[in-house]
Amino acid sequence: MIKPIGSDELQPRFVYDVAEHEKLSKEAESLPSVVISSQAAANAVMMGGGYFNPLKGYMNVADAMGAAEKMTLTDGSFFPVPVLCLLENTDAIGDAKRIALRDPNVDGNPVIAVMDVDAVEEVTDAQMKTMTQKVYRTEDMDHPGVQAFNTQGQIALSGPIQVLNFSYFQTEFPDTFRTAVEIRNEIAEHGWNKIVAFQTRNPMHLAHEELCHMAMERLGCDGLVIHMLLGKLKEGDIPAPVRDAAIRKMVEVYFPENSAMVTGYGYDMLYAGPREGVLHAYFRQNMGATHFIIGRDHAGVGDYYGDFDAQTIFDDEVPEGAMEIEIFMADHTAWSKKLNKVVMMREVDDHEKEDFVLLSGTKVREMLGNGEAPPKEFSRPEVAKILIDYYQSL
C-alpha cells in the first residue's frame, strides 16, 4: 500500500490506548480550557484520524506562513495550508502550558483534545492578509472560507495535541465517518492495491458516477473510495445525511459489489479551490489512495478560481516529490446526445454545447423542489427520489 506522507506508518494523534485515554480525559477536566473555533476543532479531528500525518499539533506562525507562501514548513517538510488554532484572546487559559481544547460544535463543549502549548503568538494583520491571499487567492469577505478564516481571532496557539474524540462526526455519521487509519485497514481487507478517491460535498449525479467508472477503468483500479465531507458547508448546500443516503443508493444499485466504499471525513469546507485540491490529495494519500480525481472547479465557490486551477497547481506550485499520489485530471463530464453516454467534454471535439445535456444547479434545485425528477441523462431516478423528498420537506 502507498506510504503515508512523512513517515512509514500513520501517526494519528488520537489516544487509542484505553487506560491512557481514561487518564487523559480525567486530567483534562482539571486543566485550564478554552472553546476553540470550528475550523480549529476540524483540524484536531483530521490530526486525530491521521489525515494530516505527520503533523503532531497546531502550527506556529512561522510554519503557517511557510505553508501559505510556499507549502513548506520551517523544517523543510511539505504541507499545503496553515493548520492553526486561532483565538480572540487567552483570558480563559492565561499563561498555562498544558490546556484542554473544547469543542464548539457539541452541546456542553466537551474536551476534544489536550494541548501542550509551545507558543502563544499574535498574528499581525499583514500575516493574516498574506495567508488569506495565498490560500484563498482573494481577501473578499463574501468568500465563505475567507470569512471563516478571518473571524476566529489573531492569537495563535501552537504545540502538540492528544485527541480524545472526533467531535460530532462519529456519533452523527457512525456508518460513514472513517479515520485515515480505518480506511487503510478497510482497503487492506478488500485486498485492493490500486485505489482511486473521489471527493464530494454534493450528491453524485450520473456524470459524477460515470467519471468514477471512467477513472477506475482507465487507471486499472481495484477499488474506489467515495470520500465525502461531513463538516460545515455554506448556506444552501445539501446536508450530509441527505448526500450520504443518495450516494449510498447510487453505489448499491450501480457499482459492482465490493468495488466502492462510501466514507466521510470530519472537516469544514475551505472553498479554497486549487490550494484545497492539494490538501485533498495530501490526506487521500494518507488514507491509502494511490490516485485522486480532480475535475473542473474542484473545491471552488463563485467565480474566484479558473475551471482547472486545481489541476495546474500540481505542476506549477507543488514542490517536486512532495506526494506520491497521482492525480487523475478530469474534464467536465456530461451526457452526449450524439453518443448516448456520458463523456468528458474535451474528448469529443465534434460536439457543440447543445449536443450535451447540461442543467444549472439552480434549475436542478427548482425541478427537485417541484417534485420533478431531472432527466435520466442527468440523474439516476433512485438518487433523484431521495433529493426530491428532501427539497419537498423544506
Q: Where are the domains of the chain?
A: 18-170, 174-393
- Burial state string for 273-294 with b = 16 or more CB within 10 A and e = fewer than 16: bbbbbbbbbbbbbbbbbbbbbb
User: Is the per-residue pLDDT at 11 higher than 90?
Assistant: yes
Q: What is the pLDDT of residue 236?
A: 76
CATH superfamily of 18-170: Sulfate adenylyltransferase (3.10.400.10)
pTM above 0.85, yes or no: yes
Element spanning 72, H or E: none
Cis peptide bond prior to 256, omega within 30° of 0: no
For residue 254, what is its C-alpha cell?
450501480
Active-site choice (98, 109, 193, 202):
202
Of 270, 269, 289, 271, nearest to 281 (Cα)?
Answer: 289
Q: What are the residues whose beta carbons fall under 8 Å from the beta carbon of 296, sequence distance 6 or more?
A: 307, 308, 330, 331, 332
Q: What are the residues whose beta carbons fall under 8 Å from the beta carbon of 208, sequence distance 6 or more?
A: 198, 200, 333
Half-sphere exposure of 325 (CA within 13 A, CB side): 28
Q: What is the pLDDT of residue 232?
A: 80
What mean pLDDT comes out for the span 168-174?
93
Q: Answer for the pair 84, 19: CB distance below 8 angstroms, yes or no.
A: no
To the question of domain 174-393 being in CATH 3.40.50.620, the answer is: yes
What is the DSSP code (8-state) at residue 31?
Answer: S
CA–CA dist 50, 283 (Å, integer): 8
Say whether 89 is catalytic: no
Active-site choice (201, 248, 296, 365):
201
Of 145, 89, 90, 154, nearest to 126 (Cα)?
Answer: 154
Give per-residue pLDDT as tens, 80-129: 999 999 999 999 999 999 999 999 999 999 999 999 999 999 999 999 99
Q: Based on the number of CB atoms within 10 Å of its own CB, is 362 exposed (0-12), middle (13-18) or buried (19 or more)?
A: exposed
Give per-residue pLDDT as tens, 221-271: 999 999 999 988 777 788 888 999 999 999 999 999 999 999 999 999 999
Say whether 98 is catalytic: no
What mean pLDDT comes out for the span 371-389?
95
